[in-house]
Structure 1
Amino acid sequence: MTTSQDLAKQDAARRAVDLVRSGMVLGLGTGSTAKLAVDEIGRRLAAGDLHDIVGVPTSEATERQAAALGIPLSTLDRHPRVELTIDGADEVDPHGRLIKGGGGALLREKIVATASRRLAIVVDASKLVERLGATFPVPIEVTPFGWTTHLDPIRALGGEPVLRARDGTPYRTDGGNLILDVTFAGGLADPEGVAAAIRARPGVVETGLFLGFSPEVIVGHAR
């Protein structure tokens, strides 16, 4: 059954794809709402409404999806400048700061977002928060070697880390790393300070705190 949240996600995805022009190099995001945007890009290509699109996927899952839809794909090595990336988020605060990484692709998502001239973030209203970390843990990608050494320092910052697992097996990112999902009671009072402290640790690959990107946030509505 299609829910109002499903309709809102579809609305956000369609409106984001309205920003796409033929000939663009696009960053293709990861996650449930970004997946809908990739589907819509594929539909418009097949219908002839768009042409000469090149997609740079942010995950292996998105790469498989886009290839199945006939979207031509490339890499940042061949196309280091991306005109527009459409991606989702797990949380968005009033300053346009994001938590991403619920789908496990935070590292590649951040690399592609950094290479992008424009970043469109597609969400439904449930992802809007007053304070980051209020409803969703902060994913932290770490190397498997020495991952337990990060637990106490993260706790000292006010977080409670849990190793992400599926069916009892530690989750591995496309890069072969692990993810710690860190809950901050009451959310983050200083996202920049926490991000800097965590990223300074050897063995931390990246955090799911997307700060300083000034994204175009597209909030979908059930219609």
Structure 2
Amino acid sequence: MNLSFSIQVFKDMMGVLPVTISLTIFSFIAALVIAIIIAIVDYFKIPLIKQIFDVYVSFFRGTPLLPQLFLLYFGIPTFIKPLRSVPAYIICIIGLTLNAAAYMKEVIRGSILSVPEGQKEAALAHGMTSMQTMTRIILPQAARVAIPSLFNNLVDIVKGTSMAFAIGVIEITATANLRASVTFNYFEAYMILMIMYWIIIVGLEQVEKKLESKMSKGYVR
């Protein structure tokens, strides 16, 4: 094992780690917002909009992430010229967001349906509107149920950022790949890369456990 190379490639990857982290954070937040909107539309069965969202969810759940990124970065700009100037970093966030939101929508939807009907009926009986019931009664309780699955989606986004190098975004996977292709020290580069992803995921798991425990306090008897 080449120790000096390992140290150097680790430093290089640490230098671009903020790119991986920012891709993850921005994509997760945007995907969560979109997923909540789609789940609410699905819950209230709003005509036409629900059908459009159903097609979107089916498309992004039924196709791989990498071709989605290729379509967004190479395909669509062929017909929409202004998109040619959009940075690959932004395209990657859009791709990760659209992909993740399609999966997170089902998580949010299932969590909403887990709230007892009696609570919804009681809220409506006390004069709350359907949207007030959703925002004040249903969503806060659904959030507690959704946390474990949403963190799984967050982990998938972290792993999905490794696809960013395919459209030219230099993050930790791209850095490891570039260094390995030049020096042929593939074992060191990819092992350090995998350990780095592992540490990130383990850290997220610890955050998830603490958050889940905190939000469950009022429900533990």
- With the length of structure 2 as denominator, give the TM-score of the two structures: 0.21
Higher helix proportion (structure 1 or 2)? 2
Higher strand proportion (structure 1 or 2)? 1
- With the length of structure 1 as denominator, give the TM-score of the two structures: 0.21
